[in-house]
Amino acid sequence: MKVLANDGISDSGIKALERGGFEVITTKVAQEQVESFVNTNNIDVVLVRSATKVRKDIIDNCPSLKIIGRGGVGMDNIDVEYARSNGLHVINTPASSSESVAELVFAHLFTGVRFLHDSNRNMPLEGDTNFNGLKKAYANGIELRGKTIGIIGFGRIGQAVAKIALGLGMKVIASDKYVNEAIIKVDFYNGQFINVDIVSESMEDLLKHSDFITIHVPAQESGYIIGKDEFKQMKDNAGIINTARGGVIDEVALIEALDEGKLLFAGLDVFENEPKPAMQLLMHPKISLTPHIGAATDEAQDRIGTELAEQIISILKNK
Ligand code: NAD
């Protein structure tokens, strides 16, 4: 049986699938050629991350297909219900990348509070001619310890963010449509741990009291989670991070809030118009940028690859 891993898969995932008797093809097939590639090669399983889309046309026109697998969480690039109603299995690995995304949130936060995003742009240009000027420009850093982080969406990643924040000595406010309360286990390298109970609060309270806000909701059917009104309700000089999905923050309102001096900085891993984010975002001196790499750590990719392999083997081999 054949697996097309169109957006890549870890070596550990390939090895696990090969041990299970599958042939793994890692050729990157262009979106418009996926359908004919699957049919020509009699592919049983298509694995994607966020780049390749598996829509109704592929599902309708590829009879050899039995499983669509998403390495990671959000499945907005797959017509999940349609596939399932047509007898296909749709699988993902929801928990495998939570810690990686949570760490990226703090990479952006530490960057933002010490202006590393701007400093990294200007040091190569002026570091030798204007060292003292730059030193002054980036002098008013702030510490994360003792500050309040507001976490919108308190699921797997939101709770992984809370763990790191608590470890850093931050106050955590969470707001979630469905999760009312969570016990966050902060564990240490030596086996010790503490449990911290966090009760979900209203969005209004979160916006009003947070020094930094980070968003961890899935792609929304409609409307922004953070738009003009929400920016207005935030503290002055707040920082905001989006590693969830483009479209949860109104990017035009974000730029306005940054330009007006309402926000100190933003950190973005995801964009409304991927893979061509708006130039105003890419060029903005107050935005720390990454190209949708939340789950892209070796550890997460290993977990994703082996988890997908286990699920595929159990579905197709244990029938
Ligand atoms: P999850 O399902 O565990 O948690 C999402 C939480 O958001 C849920 O608790 C849900 O109740 C809550 N929610 C949904 N709509 C809401 C709303 N309007 N207001 C408040 N809360 C709301 O998902 P997760 O594993 O934590 O992942 C969250 C999102 O992160 C994913 O859907 C995906 O879009 C994104 N993600 C990004 C990357 C990346 O590479 N940057 C990697 C993995 C996941």
Q: Where exactly are the structural domains of the chain?
A: 2-96+298-316, 98-289
Record the tokens describing residue 61, joined without a space.
């026109």
Paired sense of beta strands 263-268 and 238-242, if any: parallel
Query: DSSP 3-state assignment of 92?
Result: strand
Does domain 2-96+298-316 fall under CATH 3.40.50.11750? My reply is no
Tell me how far the alpha carbon of residue 153 lies from the centroid of ligand 1, in angstroms. 6
pLDDT tens digits for 217-256?
Answer: 999 988 999 999 999 999 999 999 999 999 999 999 999 9
- Determine the average pLDDT of the residues in 190-197: 98
Torsion sign over Cα 129, 132, 137, 138:
positive
Active site residues: 245, 274, 292
Please determine whether the domains at 2-96+298-316 and 98-289 fall in the same fold group of CATH. yes
What is the secondary structure of 193-229 as a DSSP string?
Answer: EEEEEEEB--HHHHHHH-SEEEE-PPPPSSS-SB-HH
CATH no., domain 98-289? 3.40.50.720
| pLDDT band with cut points at 50, 70 and 90 for residue 319 | low
Residue nearest to atom 30 of ligand 1 (CA): 244
How many whole angstroms separate alpha carbon 88 and alpha carbon 16?
22
Give the pTM.
0.91
pLDDT tens digits for 49-71?
Answer: 989 999 999 999 999 999 999 99
Is the CB–ligand 1 distance for residue 158 below 6 Å? yes
Residue nearest to atom 20 of ligand 1 (CA): 176
> Whole-number mean pLDDT of the chain?
97
Torsion sign over Cα 189, 192, 195, 196:
negative
The minimum-distance atom of ligand 1 relative to the CA of 178 is 11
Tell me how far the alpha carbon of residue 89 lies from the centroid of ligand 1, in angstroms. 22
